[in-house]
């Protein structure tokens, strides 16, 4: 198989490429990535030497470039490319609309024209909105996005679905809960907390810390997407979640315990506007229909993640400068956190 993976230099995309090169060594992978602040080719140094891997710097919204790539007889497109951070979508929504909605539509158009055999749109549980204390999201839960980020992802899902219904395109959508693991940009809660703690800096927790997220180790998500690629049914949505729900406070308490750091490093800051209270995924469909199951417990995954950030300091040291510090200041100063 020949795969076009977009956004492959980001967190989940790079983990997915490494997973696929290991599990399908005869597949050819093209990684199309714009290299925004979140794209990092250091994630893929181990792939760079492979004759089965090609990197192309570019935008999914560049139809000419995407056409040229698809002309090389690509069997499937897997679209990870996105602006992915909720807080940035609150500060500056425009790029979310351009890449997540328009970019996806252009990619769909190109894939349709070139009759690509499979198109997987990588989406998120955030499109379903916020849950109360009970219940879980199923694939038929109504979409109710609350942030510019999740609204842009919900729009892309609907456009992808429309291309299936209207043009018969072989589209599948995955909606995954909060991923964590190696190579995650340290703007997201877990890598931000772990790297701050490695420097004995405070960990900012939004609001009362009682918002609940459903955590999945990134390679478990990669395995699920691999299954959807090979066994998924066209036109279907697959929820992917490992069933590890935690409040943010409980999660950070576990991290503090595993790292041997004091509770005093937690700093409560002003809440994120429109902060969804709880996400929880019902993954029965992918378990029952495709035979997926998660392999990594939250405890194992947290240990592996802490270990990775502890031993890859150069990777995140290079990120935590320049643009990152400007973003940190902009996001956290208004929330009442002083300095980095």
**CB count, 10 Å around CB of 2?**
15
| 11 binds ligand NAD per the rule CB under 6 A | yes
Q: Find out whether 172 and 166 touch, Cβ atoms under 8 Å.
A: no
User: CA dist 209 to 89, 117, 270, 278, Å?
Assistant: 21, 44, 11, 11
Catalytic annotation present for 125: yes
CB-based contact 183:14 (threshold 8 Å): yes
Q: Residue 6, interface with ligand NAD (CB under 6 A)?
A: yes
Locus of tokens 């609940």: 212
If contact means CB under 5 to 8 A according to the sort of partner, which of ligand TDX, ligand NAD, none does residue 39 touch?
ligand NAD
Q: Is there a contact between 52 and 93 (Cβ–Cβ < 8 Å)? A: no
Asked about 22 being catalytic, the answer comes back as no
x/- string (CB under 6 A) for ligand NAD, residues 69-108? -----------xxx-x--------------x---x-----
Between residues 219 and 261, which has the closer beta carbon with respect to ligand NAD? 219
Q: Tell me, residue by residue from 175 to 204, as one string, x for binding to ligand NAD by CB under 6 A and - for no binding.
A: -x-xx-----x-------------------
**Residue 211 C-beta: closest distance to ligand TDX, Å:** 4
Report the residue from 79, 84, 195, 221 that binds ligand TDX according to the rule CB under 6 A.
84
**Candidate ranges 31-39, 283-291, 305-313, 316-324; the one touching ligand NAD (CB under 6 A):** 31-39
- Separation of alpha carbons 297 and 169, rounded Å: 36
Q: Of the candidates 123, 121, 109, which has an alpha carbon nearest to the alpha carbon of residue 153?
A: 123
Is residue 288 classed exposed, middle or buried when 0-12, 13-18 and 19+ CB atoms within 10 A define those classes?
Answer: exposed
Q: What span, in angstroms and rounded, lies between the C-alpha atoms of 307 and 305?
A: 5
Minimum CB–partner distance for residue 336 and ligand NAD (Å) = 25
**37 catalytic, yes or no?**
no
- Integer angstrom CA distances of residue 193 from 23, 51, 147, 259, 330: 31, 37, 23, 11, 18
- Write the interaction track for ligand TDX spanning residues 182-221; mark x where CB under 6 A is met and - where it is not: ------xx--x-----------xxx----x-x--------
Give residues in contact with ligand TDX (CB under 6 A). 84-86, 124, 126, 178, 188-189, 192, 204-206, 211, 213, 248, 272
Binding site for ligand NAD (CB under 6 A): 6-7, 9-13, 32-36, 38-39, 59-61, 80-82, 84, 99, 103, 122, 124, 153, 176, 178-179, 185
Which residues are annotated as catalytic?
125-126, 149
């Amino acid at each position: 198989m020949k795969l076009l993976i977009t956004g492959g230099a980001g967190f989940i995309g790079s983990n997915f490429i490494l997973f696929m090169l290991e599990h399908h060594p005869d597949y050819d992978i093209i990684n199309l990535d714009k290299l925004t602040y979140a794209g990092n080719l250091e994630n893929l140094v181990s792939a760079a030497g492979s004759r089965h891997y090609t990197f192309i710097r570019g935008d999914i919204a560049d139809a000419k470039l995407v056409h040229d790539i698809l002309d090389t007889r690509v069997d499937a497109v897997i679209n990870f490319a996105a602006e992915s951070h909720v807080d940035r979508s609150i500060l500056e929504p425009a790029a979310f609309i351009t890449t997540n909605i328009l970019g996806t539509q252009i990619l769909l158009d190109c894939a349709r024209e070139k009759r690509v055999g499979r198109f997987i749109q990588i989406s998120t549980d955030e499109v379903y909105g916020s849950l109360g204390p009970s219940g879980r999201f199923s694939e038929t839960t109504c979409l109710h996005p609350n942030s510019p980020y999740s609204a842009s992802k919900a729009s892309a899902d609907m456009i992808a679905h429309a291309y299936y219904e209207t043009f018969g395109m072989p589209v599948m959508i995955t909606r995954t809960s909060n991923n964590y693991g190696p190579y995650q940009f340290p703007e997201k809660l877990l890598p931000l907390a772990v790297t701050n703690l490695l420097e004995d800096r405070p960990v900012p927790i939004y609001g009362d810390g009682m918002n609940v997220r459903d955590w999945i180790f990134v390679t478990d998500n990669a395995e699920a997407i691999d299954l959807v690629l090979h066994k998924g049914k066209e036109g279907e949505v697959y929820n992917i979640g490992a069933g590890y729900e935690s409040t943010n406070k409980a999660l950070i308490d576990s991290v503090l315990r595993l790292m041997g750091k004091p509770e005093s490093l937690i700093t409560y800051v002003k809440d994120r506007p429109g902060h969804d209270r709880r996400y929880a995924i019902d993954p029965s469909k992918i378990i029952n229909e495709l035979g997926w199951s998660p392999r990594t417990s939250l405890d194992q995954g947290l240990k592996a993640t802490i270990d990775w950030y502890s031993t890859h300091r150069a990777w995140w040291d290079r990120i935590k400068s320049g643009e990152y510090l400007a973003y940190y200041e902009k996001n956290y100063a208004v929330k009442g956190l002083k300095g980095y």
